[in-house]
Amino acid sequence: MNKVLREILDTVIYLAVVFILLILFITFVAQRTDVSGQSMENTLQDGDSLIVDKISYRFKDPERFDIVIFEYQYGDEPCFIKRVIGLPGETVQIDTDGKIYINGSVLEEGYGAEVILDPGRAIDPITLGEDEYFVLGDNRNHSMDSRDYSVGNVKKDTIVGKAFIRIFPFDKFGALD
């Protein structure tokens, strides 16, 4: 009887340790998230499942063009997925021709699905604070992002992590750029 109790106790301890490690992993290292909406098309599609790296931004800052997940409550969605365009201390502006300027120089990038029709609040220069980022959806004319007053500049402490791999659909499995 003693041997049976010992095996049951060992199994319970093993399962408790696995459960605790799983909770710690999900809380501090990585999590799965789903794309909702069309704001990141053509890079990401509605329904894509991603793995988010939650640990690297504890050791380094987000970089330009990273795809980040940040806390922003919109309807039932607690987070947004967007691409980092402007970094702390930079000045971002979007002209009426849809060109993005960083510190007065045109940003060379090819992520936008189309020319920006509405620069929103970025029609005027926006200087980012030391912990702020300017983010845009890749589907520029169908994205609620830093151009919108309700979203505005994204504070670093609201960034959950970096989307780094698509796990579903399986035919598009792979790293994100």
Which one is catalytic: 3, 36, 39, 56?
39
Task: Answer yes or no: 82 catalytic.
Answer: yes
Alpha helices in the chain (DSSP H): 2-28
Taking Cα atoms as reference points, which of 172, 166, 88 lies closest to residue 131?
88
Q: Of 36, 49, 56, 82, which one is the catalytic site residue?
A: 82
- Taking Cα atoms as reference points, which of 162, 166, 177 lies closest to residue 61? 162
91 touches 127 (CB < 8 A): yes
Distances in Å between the alpha carbon of 176 and those of 3, 50, 113, 127, 148?
51, 9, 16, 28, 25
Q: How many angstroms separate the CA atoms of 3 and 7, rounded? A: 6
List residues with catalytic annotation.
Answer: 39, 82
